[in-house]
Structure 1
């Protein structure tokens, strides 16, 4: 059997087992998501393609990882070649997604701002847009996308600062507004001082950073796996090169014709293991 570097071999096997576990987690998340969304028929139909991608990615990751671990453990060339090819394909695919995203990242904030400004004023936006805006305001404790005036004179209850601790911490402010019912008065509302767009922009930037970090990190790991598998293949092929074994032939009887003598040696080669 071929001899590989024991330390490198163990690192490679651990590397593959780790990715097999990652593939199992992806499959588990896909299964949990499927069971969660399957309760609602409409949502389930919209999420089918996403779960299919998770199942495929998880299954392929497990399969390739096990092939690589088997090839290293049994010191087989073909499984290592399959793993090497899969790593190069995965690295290229990840970079194909991550590089354009990194280039587009600086322009994303401007596009996002333009998309939100197109929805103003919020008090005249479609009901679906207003529901989403109010949900964001309740969750992030903010009012309006760029200003509370985005709601015109119809500031919703989701803008109201109802927590006394937030008021003490200076997160709230009083604003004047006109009321259609109380046209002779000038009432005030205590609303959140923070607007929503800066918070959304911050979380979007963090999400993009995480996305790019994960994709570039996985691409680097795939490249590392390819390099290690290439080194193991080089060691494997070097140790299985045919080595000539020379056997000497004993001297022949004196009476035989010298021209009929067999060769004085025979070369035998060890066949490379596949």
Structure 2
């Protein structure tokens, strides 16, 4: 009794999609890692290290799962199923923690920018990051343009092509300049939360894909287990030596 070919193909297809996703994730992480090498902060790099570990573990489990289905080895499929179940539980716990700790997460993001104030005491990397976001998001200052204490950078200046509202403000030489009217902190928090929502949505899709792979793996395991329990048919030469009679004669009497 062989494992159903369509079940195997479905299983191979799902784990192949998972492998492609993991490889793309590693490639993207390497690109971001190279971009952040000159960054003084290490928080993002720690997150990338977690992605590397997660990707490596998943790829190892996928190899076990593929070999287990190919060779019909129950132990390899069990390792795959148990590992994927643990990963799913971790991802689900992360989703629950995100929903519970969402207000605290927003507060932590805000405090990261509050500690930059006053901007005269901020580091060069913090100022460069804020100036980049001012030009990108069309905003000025953390809470207000006055955070710059009269020395308004060029990233705050708006022109006719600006999509966000502008306002006039005094610069260091007491001349009026047109700057972005909105502060940056609310916009940054909104953008970061949208990014997190998208990331968590992708994570939900991963959980569903992981669960599907576990279900197909269990199906393959069940069919292999049935195959192992099938009794072996033993050929015996004595089967040909049996005495057989043909029922060609009519019975002597019929029951009344």
Report TM bin, short chain: 0.7 to 0.9
Corresponding residue for residue 83 of structure 2: 86
Question: Can you give the 5+ residue segments of structure 2 that lack an aligned partner in the other structure?
Answer: 244-256
* Structure 1 residues 165 and 33: alpha-carbon distance in aligned structure 2, compared to 1, 3 A threshold: closer
Corresponding residue for residue 171 of structure 1: 165
- The answer as to 2:152 corresponding to 1:155 is yes
SS at match of 2:178: strand
- CA RMSD, 1 decimal: 3.4
SS at match of 1:220: helix
SS at match of 1:11: helix
Shift of 1:208: 1.3
* Structure 1 residues 244 and 75: alpha-carbon distance in aligned structure 2, compared to 1, 3 A threshold: closer
1:101 to 95, 98, 102: 98
Shift of 1:153: 3.3
Question: Can you give the 5+ residue segments of structure 1 that lack an aligned partner in the other structure?
Answer: 253-274
* Residues 31-79 of structure 1: per-residue CA shift (max 9 Å, x gap): 55566667x6x87999876665444433333332232223223333222
Answer yes or no: is the 8 Å Cα contact 1:26–1:57 preserved in 2.
no
SS at match of 1:191: strand
Corresponding residue for residue 126 of structure 1: 122
Answer yes or no: is the 8 Å Cα contact 2:164–2:180 preserved in 1.
no
Shift of 1:251: 7.0
Corresponding residue for residue 24 of structure 2: 25
Shift of 1:165: 2.2
2:217 to 206, 229, 234: 229
Structure 1 CA distance for aligned equivalents of residues 60 and 111 of structure 2: 44
Structure 2 matches for 1:1-40, cutoff 5 A? 2-32=1-31
Equivalences, count: 239
Answer yes or no: is the 8 Å Cα contact 1:17–1:69 preserved in 2.
no
Structure 2 CA distance for aligned equivalents of residues 178 and 35 of structure 1: 38
Structure 2 CA distance for aligned equivalents of residues 33 and 208 of structure 1: 17
Corresponding residue for residue 77 of structure 1: 74
- TM norm structure 2: 0.75
Structure 2 CA distance for aligned equivalents of residues 146 and 44 of structure 1: 23
Structure 1 CA distance for aligned equivalents of residues 48 and 106 of structure 2: 29
Q: Which moved more, 1:208-217 or 1:227-236?
A: 208-217
Structure 2 CA distance for aligned equivalents of residues 37 and 45 of structure 1: 9
Q: Which moved more, 1:27-36 or 1:149-158?
A: 27-36
- The answer as to 2:213 corresponding to 1:204 is no
Structure 2 CA distance for aligned equivalents of residues 25 and 18 of structure 1: 11
Corresponding residue for residue 110 of structure 1: 107
